Amino acid sequence: MRAVARLLGFLRPFWREVLLAIALGVAAVASGIGLLGLSADIIARAALRPSIAELQVAIVGVRFFGLSRAVFRYLERLVSHSVNFRLLAQLRAWFFQKLEPLAPARLQGYQSGDLLSRSIRDVETLEDFYVRVVSPPLVALVTGLGVSLYFGQYAPLLGTAVAAGLFIAGAVLPAVSRRVSRPLADGLAASRARLNAALVEGLQGLSDLAAWGQEQAFLQRAERLDEDYLRRRARLDWTAAAFNALGLLVSLLTMLAVLWITAPLVRAGEVPGHQLAVFVVAALASFESVSPLALAAQQLEKSLEAARRLFELVDAGPEVAEPASPAELPVLPRLSVKGLCFAYPGGAGDVLRDLSFDLPYGKKLAIVGPSGAGKSTLFHLLVRFWEVQYGEIRLGGRPVQAYSPASLRRMMAVISQNGYIFNGTLRYNLLLADPGADEDRLWDALALTGLQEWARNLPEGLDTWLGEHGAQISGGERQRLLAARALLQKADLYLLDEPTANLDVNTERDLVQVLTRTLAPYSVIWVTHRLVSMDWMDEILVLEGGQVVQRGTHAELLAREGLYRRLWQAQQRPVLFVPGADMAGSEAG
Amino acid sequence: MNIDRRLIRLAASTAGLFGRVVGMGLLGGLLLIGQAWWLSQAVNGVFLGGMDVPALMRLVIGLLALILLRSLAAFLTEGLASRFGRDMGARLRRELLEHMVRLGPAYVRGEQTSDLGLAALQGVDELERYFSQYLPQVFWAAMIPLAILAAVFPRDPLSGLVLVLTAPLIPVFMVLIGKLAERHTRQQWTALRRMSAFFLDTLQGLTTLKLLGRSDQAGRIAAVGERYRQTTMSVLRVAFLSALVLEFIGTISTAIVAVQIGLRLLYGGIEFQPAFFILLLAPEFYAPLRQLGVRFHASMSGLTAAEKIYQVLDAQPEVDLEVNPGRPHLPCPPFSIRFEQVSYCYPSREQAAVQDLSFELRPGQLSALVGSSGTGKTTVTQLLLRFIDPQQGRILVNEVPLNDLPLADWRRQVAWVPQRPALFTGTIAENLRIACPEASEEQLRQAVRQAQLEDYVDSLPHGLDTMLGEGGKGLSGGQAQRLAIARAFLRDAPLVIFDEPTAYLDAEQEAMIEAAIQRLRQGRTLLIVAHRLPTVLHADQILVMQAGRIVEQGRHEQLARGGGLYAGMLGSLEVEP
């Protein structure tokens, strides 16, 4: 229930709007009951042939409710949607704010894409929390109490009967229904997931299926899974139909009970006869308030599950703490690493073992070795995504823990294959690195990375939309764009993490030339398994299994027998280079 | 509207079930009228007639029976309607799937079309609601109000007239406002999608933002959300008017009925019992029409889904799958395959993918196809697999036109090793048996051995019976391709088409692939889309492609000396510093 309290907390900033929406919801339901009740009242009393004056009030009332019901409903929908959108904006901002300190260390255990899409679905589920979960029970509670009190004032038994009917239809049936259908729904979801997975993999692998003549086998498999899905669906559908019918039954039985209880009261003269007509009609109409509760129960469960997952995620403490009083950032700093060891939590052993090096400002260091040798981990520690466990990293003579992580990151620029291109214009993507940069500076950065021509030829120049929904860019352009963005960052230390991965030989050579030229004045650490332009480096560390096995300059290392020379020789094995491989994917399929 | 008609025709083909759904709903409507009649009598009796207890008892018992029946009818109506939706959905899913298989890889391989296929399959869910909710409601909205009118008119024509006159307002306004609302809803959807895309984008780029020192985006997210709220609210103020008007017609008509009957009661123009009966029925008269309005939206998304579904169902297969009697039998292997002036152009492309291709693949020979991507190499393999047929020219297998051969028979003669083979959920053995369902355990082992995958399989806890996860996670690209090579060995087909990996391979993987290729070429016709030098060095002929044509053809020594495109490719092979 703590989750519920925390969820309700999100509504606090706009509680007035929430209350207004609930009041309007109550007014709409009440108008509906009032319209039918008063209509019955007019007819029943008119049957007694009073003077028309006696009916005047009721006639005005009926006309009012005839108008007001639709108006209240309209206003209620408007206000509750407004609440919904406020909640939506708030939840998203909250989620981002909470996630930011956790990335990426605390998000490692989750498969990244999976986590993200699930979290976004969870946030979306919670966006309906107010309209579907909070509002309906409150509206039902207020109107239910009102209706029960109205009946109760004539006879307690009458009030009790109506209250019981509303309670069964609004609370008991939804609860029982959830209990019964929950396992069915879970089984159905799993069955559906199996069916979908089979369909997706079958369609994506249709070439293979056709080539091996396995189309019929695939169709049969899909058919079997479909049958299982349909069988489960049928069970759930019939269960839902049963509970809906039970809800109808309860409302009709309540009306019948009202009739049965009121009849002797009328005969005894305790209740005026015309009131019976009003009772019967009002009892039926009052069930409108509880009809959305079955959905609300279902949605509450979903909301709580979503909330639990999100809270669990964001409640993890950040990996790296802010220092109480951050030290001032050093100028032209020397970087020294001593005895650095690191193991990821839950990972299989150390990824870095006793790493030491010294990098005076402006020098170049390469860290090479087979993939999986722990090369990227060093960067994670340098940019303070992970906390140093053992050993130390010093920058400008002080341990990195002394600086504020955010300002430390501004001294460093990372160029990696995983850099993200945002959905936005080219300009937007570049300005992220330096919000104050003017037009000339942007073009300079593009020129340095050889993107000038490319950018000029874009349909809208710097204002061309990039990213998933924007212009297609090739792998080479992408990497160069990431490099251009990093250059704009005005950093002191450049960290290159396999910046040429997935590029063909020509593009790789061009990009490396750009980097060696433009990064000459700065400190550089280059992590790679491709041995390109190694003669540029002041020192090369060869890493294997997290440990430095060789170190020296390119010439020294080549002269010696060892891993470096083996890697170098393996790379010289010829690969039939194909021009234009950069355009991969332009062929159909 | 065309789609509507097609959907209704589809529904009509299960006339029995659909009829039962509509009939059961109508029965519920009739029971409702009966219930209103007896209820009005009971109230009348107690209120004005001084009804005694046994008489009331009889009425109440009768009402109880009606109520039970009505609930049962509601249960059956909803259950049957769901079943109808399910049946239609299952049927469309099956038709779609079968049709997509018939359309074949050439259709599904296109990126857009593959998305279209999946979207169509997912759209079936939307369409189920069209069948289970909207379509029966159309009938109920016509029939139940008519039944109520039939009950009201004989008792009070004036009230009947009020109902008749107000009823058409609902569909009229529904259509008028529905159109307006639909446009607004679509605008709102676009706005929502944009905002969600921005949120997702920011989260996906979170690490990058952090590295750039720009992770102060929460305010921007909130601002985008607020802007969205404001624009959307102004849209909704109009869009919700439709619901307002529909609701309004229903309530105000009920009020009119009540007031006019009340006034006539006052002057003795009508008795209480029929008056109360009519009052009980008035809201029920509008209910099915309003419900139709609500479900109209379900129908809209269903129709959009149906458009996608029929787009797929209406597509024509590339390759004629029908086998005509009198077609020639498959020639005996080994195969000599000749392309004669073959051209092919993908639909929706202007430029031909391959043009005037002429070459020959000879038995026992290794032919290497080289060229940059987009030059038509893949198209050649697709033509050989008959995923597509030549638009001009022909392909001859031992002098018999390939088009004339029965498709399934032909494909049994071909083994295909794609760059990224598809792996299916199931064990390694099941994934191998795709190539040869009746293969014995021993044959599987041998194929795995020949494909250099044995060490890996032996290292797995369950060997050949190890499950491959969804999409075959757990196998690296190199392992997946060796699994495809094992499939090729299992099939032991006379023609092998091999698409070499373009990715950088380490020395060990390189050697494994090399060994597999040497073993595969024994006695077979082998075509390799080549990316590695050793392959072309050993090839019996190299076909160099450029822009859909073969521009050079010959052995390595000839071509390397020739100074043409191939020699140029080798030139760019200069070793890095």
Give CA–CA dist B375/A487, Å, rounded: 36
Domain end, chosen from B147, B175, B201, is at B147
Say yes or no to pLDDT of A163 above 80: yes
Residue A191 is predicted with a pLDDT of 93
Tell me the chain A residues in contact with residue B375 when contact means C-beta distances shorter than 8 Å.
587
Task: Quickly state the pLDDT bin for A168 (edges 50, 70, 90).
Answer: very high
| Contact flag B208-A420 (C-beta cutoff 8 Å) | yes
Domains: count for chain B? 2
| Contact flag A99-B237 (C-beta cutoff 8 Å) | no
**Distance to chain B for A69, nearest Cα, Å:** 8
Residues, chain A: 589
Report the percent of chain B where pLDDT is more than 70. Answer: 92
Of B279, B425, B506, the CB nearest to A40: B279
- Arithmetic mean of pLDDT, B477-485: 83
Kindly report the number of other CB atoms within 10 A of residue B455's CB atom.
10
Of A253, A423, A573, the CB nearest to B201: A423
State pLDDT tens for residues A87-116. 988 899 999 988 888 888 877 655 455 677
State pLDDT tens for residues B284-334. 998 998 888 778 776 777 888 888 888 888 888 777 655 555 667 788 888
Q: Which residues numbered 374-433 in B keep a CB inside 8 Å of some CB on A?
A: 374-379, 385, 387, 408, 411-412, 414, 416, 418, 421-425
Give CA–CA dist B290/B287, Å, rounded: 5
Residue B327 is predicted with a pLDDT of 67
State the pairing for strand pair B467-468/A398-399: unpaired
In a domain, B120, yes or no: yes
- Arithmetic mean of pLDDT, A236-253: 96
CA atoms within 13 A on the CB side of B277: 25
Closest CA to B202 of B61, B210, A221, B125: B210
Say yes or no to pLDDT of A353 above 50: yes
Say yes or no to pLDDT of A153 above 90: yes
Give CA–CA dist A363/A365, Å, rounded: 7
8 A C-beta contact, residue B426 and residue B468: yes
Sheet holding B366-370, edge to edge: B414-417, B495-499, B525-529, B366-370, B541-546, B549-554
Say yes or no to pLDDT of B340 above 90: yes
Tell me the chain A residues in contact with residue B405 when contact means C-beta distances shorter than 8 Å.
none
Q: Which residue of A has its CA nearest to B242?
A: A74
Q: CB contacts < 8 Å between A and B, how many?
A: 425
Residue B511 is predicted with a pLDDT of 76
Q: What is the mean pLDDT of chain B?
A: 85
The helix (H) or strand (E) run that includes residue A61 is helix A52-99
State pLDDT tens for residues A374-425. 777 888 899 998 899 899 999 998 999 999 988 888 899 998 877 888 888 8
Say yes or no to pLDDT of B574 above 50: no
The interface predicted TM-score of the complex, written ipTM, equals 0.85
State pLDDT tens for residues B456-465. 888 887 888 8
Sequence-separated (6 or more) residues with CB below 8 Å from residue B500: B419, B513, B528, B529, B530, B531, B532, B535
| Contact flag A93-B75 (C-beta cutoff 8 Å) | no
Whole-Å CA distances, A208 to B183, B385, B418, B450: 43, 10, 8, 20
Say which residue, A563 or B149, is predicted with more confidence.
B149
Q: With DSSP H G I counted as helix, E B as strand and the rest as coil, what are the percentages for chain B, rounded to 5?
A: 65, 10, 25
Which superfamily is assigned to A335-574 in CATH? P-loop containing nucleotide triphosphate hydrolases (3.40.50.300)
- Arithmetic mean of pLDDT, B150-154: 95
In a domain, B12, yes or no: yes
Say yes or no to pLDDT of B111 above 70: no
Kindly report the CATH number assigned to the domain that includes residue B356. Answer: 3.40.50.300
Tell me the chain A residues in contact with residue B70 when contact means C-beta distances shorter than 8 Å.
248, 252
Picking from A117-121, A306-310, B164-168, B483-487, which range would have the lowest pLDDT averaged per residue? A117-121
Residue B110 is predicted with a pLDDT of 61
- Arithmetic mean of pLDDT, B511-530: 83
- Arithmetic mean of pLDDT, A490-501: 86
Residue A576 is predicted with a pLDDT of 55
Closest CA to A409 of B95, B7, B216: B216
In a domain, B22, yes or no: yes
Task: Quickly state the pLDDT bin for A290 (edges 50, 70, 90).
Answer: very high
Picking from A495-509, A566-580, B308-322, B357-371, which range would have the lowest pLDDT averaged per residue? A566-580
Per DSSP, B330 falls in state: P
In a domain, B277, yes or no: no
The helix (H) or strand (E) run that includes residue A540 is strand A539-544
Tell me the chain B residues in contact with residue A570 when contact means C-beta distances shorter than 8 Å.
506-507
Say yes or no to pLDDT of A547 above 90: no
Residue B194 is predicted with a pLDDT of 78
Picking from A30-34, A524-528, B121-125, which range would have the lowest pLDDT averaged per residue? B121-125
Assigned token pair, A400: 């990195």
Of the residues A59, A73, A96, A496, the best mutation for testing chain B's interface (the one with the most B CB atoms within 10 Å of its CB) is A96
Task: Quickly state the pLDDT bin for A577 (edges 50, 70, 90).
Answer: very low
Kindly report the number of other CB atoms within 10 A of residue A398's CB atom.
14
From the options 3.40.50.970, 3.90.79.10, 3.10.580.10, 1.20.1560.10, give the CATH code of A2-314.
1.20.1560.10
Domain span at residue B34 reads 1-147
Picking from A294-303, A322-331, B477-486, which range would have the lowest pLDDT averaged per residue? B477-486
The domain segmentation of chain A, as residue ranges, is: 2-314, 335-574
State pLDDT tens for residues B372-421. 777 888 889 989 998 888 999 999 999 888 888 888 888 889 999 988 88
Sequence-separated (6 or more) residues with CB below 8 Å from residue A431: A437, A442
Sequence-separated (6 or more) residues with CB below 8 Å from residue A65: A31, A32, A34, A35, A38, B251, B255
Q: Which of A561-575, B271-285, B332-346 is the most confident on average?
A: B271-285
Residue A319 is predicted with a pLDDT of 85
In a domain, B244, yes or no: no
Residue B576 is predicted with a pLDDT of 34
Q: Which of A212-221, A363-372, A567-576, B98-107 is the most confident on average?
A: A212-221
Tell me the chain B residues in contact with residue A72 when contact means C-beta distances shorter than 8 Å.
none
Sequence-separated (6 or more) residues with CB below 8 Å from residue A529: A368, A369, A370, A371, A375, A498, A567
Picking from A109-123, A237-251, B153-167, which range would have the lowest pLDDT averaged per residue? A109-123
Residue pointed to by tokens 């639990």: A308
Residues, chain B: 577
Domain end, chosen from B129, B147, B165, is at B147
- Arithmetic mean of pLDDT, B411-438: 88
Residue by residue, DSSP assigns A543-587 as EETTEEEEEE-HHHHHHS-SHHHHHHHHHHS-----TTGGGTT-S
- CA geometry: angle A317, A318, A323, nearest 5 deg: 115
Say yes or no to pLDDT of B149 above 90: yes
In a domain, B279, yes or no: no
Write the Ramachandran bin of B258: left for phi over 0, alpha for psi from -120 to 50, otherwise beta: alpha
Domain end, chosen from B102, B119, B147, is at B147
Terminal CA-to-CA distance of chain A, rounded, Å? 52
Q: Which residue of A has its CA nearest to B283?
A: A36
